Structure 1
Amino acid sequence: MNTVFKDFDNAKEAFFNPRDCQKRVDGFPEICVSTFSESVIEKFAEMEGVEVIASLYSANGIIPVYKIKYCGKEIAFFLSRVGAPACVCGLEEIIAMGAQKIILFGSCGILDKEAADGRIIVPVAAVRDEGTSYHYLPSSEEVKVGEAMIDKICGCLKKCGYPYVKGKVWTTDGIYRETRKAIDDRKAQGCIAVEMEFAAAAAVTEFRSIPFVQFLYGEDNLDSAEWEPRGLFCPDLSRTEKYMVLAFECGLAI
Structure 2
Amino acid sequence: MYKDLTDQDYKEMLSLPPDYKVAGFLSYGHWNLSRKAENMKKALSKLDGDFQIKQLSEFLGRVYEIKTSKCTYWFTVVYGGVRLCEYLHFACLFGSKKNIHIGSCGGLCPQMESLDYIIPEWSFGNESTTRSYDRDNQENIHYPDQELSNEIKRELGNQNYWKGPIMTCEAMVAETKEDIDRWTQEGYYGVEMETSTIFAISNHFEVPSASLLYVSDNLVKGQVVGDEEHKKQKKDRWAKSQEMIDIGIRVLFS
> Which residue is equivalent to 2:28?
35
Q: Which amino acid aligns with 1:191?
A: Y
- Report what 2:95 is aligned to: 98
With 104-113 and 92-101 compared, the bigger mean Cα shift is at 92-101
Indicate yes or no: 2:214 matched with 1:221: no
Partner residue in 1 for 2:204: 207
Deviation at 1:90, TM superposition (A): 1.1
Q: How does 1:74-85 map to 2 (within 5 A)?
A: 76-85=73-82
CA gap of 1:180–1:119, structure 2 versus 1, over 3 A, is same
Give the direction of change, closer, same or farther, for the CA distance of 1:25–1:89 in structure 2 (3 Å limit).
same
Point out the structure with the larger helix share: 2
Higher strand share: 1
Pair 1:52–1:153, CA change in 2 (3 A): closer
What is the match of residue 3 of structure 2?
A: 14
Distance 2:193 2:233 in 1: 17
Q: CA deviation at 1:98?
A: 2.9
Give the equivalent residue in structure 2 for 1:151. 150
> Structure 2 CA distance, aligned partners of 1:36 and 1:153?
17
- Given the two structures, how large is their TM-score scaled by the length of structure 2? 0.78
Comparing 100-109 and 124-133, the one that deviates more: 124-133
Amino acid at match of 1:184: D
- The 1-side partners of 2:7 and 2:70 are apart by 26
How far does the alpha carbon of each residue in 1:200-247 deviate from its partner, in whole angstroms, 9 at most, with x for none?
110000000111111011111101245354159956433312211111
Partner SS for 1:80: strand
- TM-score between both structures, scaled by the size of structure 1: 0.78
- The 1:147–1:76 alpha-carbon spacing in structure 2 relative to 1, beyond 3 Å, is closer
* Structure 2 portions without partners, runs of 5+: none
* Aligned-partner Cα distance in 1 for 2:146–2:191: 21
Residues 121-200 of structure 1 aligned to structure 2 (within 5 Å): 121-137=118-134, 138=136, 139-158=138-157, 161-200=158-197
**Pair 24,186 (structure 1): closer, same or farther in 2 beyond 3 Å:** farther
Compare 234-243 and 105-114 and name the one that shifted more.
234-243
Q: Percent identity?
A: 18
State how far apart, in whole Å, the 2-side matches of 1:112 and 1:82 are: 23
Change (3 A) 1:42 1:181: same
> Match of 2:206, SS?
coil
Letter in 2 for 1:248: I
- Selected match of 1:44 from 40, 44, 47: 40
Deviates more, 1:214-223 or 1:45-54: 45-54
State the match for 1:89 in structure 2.
86
1:45 and 1:51 in contact (8 A); partners too: no
Q: 1:74 to 1:66 in 2, by over 3 A?
A: same
Q: Alpha carbons of 1:145 and 1:99: their partners in 2 closer, same or farther (altered >3 Å)?
A: closer
Question: Residues 169 and 20 (structure 1 numbering): CA distance in 2 closer, same or farther, change over 3 Å?
Answer: same
Work out the number of aligned pairs and report it. Answer: 236
The one-letter amino acid of 1:217's match is Y
